Amino acid sequence: MKGADIASTCFSSQDAITLSLPPYLPSLPPSLPFHSVSSLDGDAPPVALQQTFLFPHPILSLGSTLTSRGITTKALLLGYAPGQILLLDRRFLDPRRPTSLPPSKAEKAEGLPPYSPHLPLIPPHVLTYNHTLHNLHTLHTSPSSLESTTLLLGLGELDLFFTRLHPSSKPFDLLPETFNHFLVSVVLLVSVVGVWFLGRAAQAKTLREAWA
């Protein structure tokens, strides 16, 4: 879903999140032909889960990250008063967050944090840092040439804010800053020189054997 597809009007600081899941289908016997199985069969109604979350500031705009192939985990973008933009992991809004402690093994495997009604405001995830967008009203996202990177444009009454962000927290298709380019260059150079030297040695040996 594109960021522009999400309503960008003002929201209250308390919203209900609803998630619809497909109905539970029991395991089928192996003898049943594959072509006769349909997800439309059965009378089981869909399972709807709902959970309520609180945010400490009025929400001015909503958006979501967008990547070129949709492989990267999506995250929610929150524009909140007085004009900041927060990158929020979608797992914090999952209504399946366990309410009982300790969580079961299945819940741990999902990677969902325990339920808390208050959404966290994590300072490192505030994309605008110490900048304020006056009267922030719209968030536009667009994919980039890298799957791990999303382009974000925040629109205010007088201000514009543009940045690149990584929904998965760590870019998986970029070399880290600590990557040793010098060592790779030296290894590549030694390999080229070694191949050239061995090639000349093989030619000389072949020539000697031809004259023997």
Question: What pLDDT score does 198 carry?
Answer: 92
pTM recorded for the entire structure? 0.65
Q: Is the pLDDT of residue 152 over 50?
A: yes
Q: Is the pLDDT of residue 16 over 50?
A: no
Question: What pLDDT score does 195 carry?
Answer: 93
Task: Answer with the residue of higher pLDDT: 202 or 4.
Answer: 202
Question: What pLDDT score does 140 carry?
Answer: 92
Cβ atoms 140, 152 nearer than 8 A = yes
Q: Please state whether the peptide bond connecting residue 82 to the residue before it is cis, i.e. omega within 30 degrees of 0.
A: yes
Which segment, 6-15, 41-50, 120-129, is predicted with the most confidence on average?
120-129
Mean pLDDT of the chain: 79
Q: Is the pLDDT of residue 3 over 90?
A: no
* Local confidence band at 22 (pLDDT 50, 70, 90 cut-offs): very low
78 CB-side CA count, 13 A: 26
Q: Is the pLDDT of residue 29 over 80?
A: no
Counting beta carbons within 10 angstroms of the beta carbon of residue 112, is it exposed (0 to 12), middle (13 to 18) or buried (19 or more)? middle
pLDDT > 70 fraction of the chain, expressed in percent and rounded: 79
The neighbour count for residue 154, using CB atoms within 10 Å, is: 27
Residue 32: closest CA among 23, 43, 24, 41: 41
85 CB-side CA count, 13 A: 32
Cβ atoms 157, 183 nearer than 8 A = no
Q: What region does 55 belong to: left with phi over 0, alpha with psi -120 to 50, or beta?
A: beta
143 has which bridge partners? 150
Question: What pLDDT score does 84 carry?
Answer: 93
Span of 3-7, 96-100, 157-161 with lowest mean pLDDT: 3-7
* Local confidence band at 171 (pLDDT 50, 70, 90 cut-offs): confident
Q: Where are the domains of the chain?
A: 3-22+42-165, 180-212
Question: What pLDDT score does 196 carry?
Answer: 92
Residue 127: closest CA among 148, 153, 146, 147: 153
Counting beta carbons within 10 angstroms of the beta carbon of residue 33, is it exposed (0 to 12), middle (13 to 18) or buried (19 or more)? exposed
Three-state secondary structure call for residue 106: helix
Which segment, 26-30, 51-55, 113-117, 190-194, is predicted with the most confidence on average?
190-194
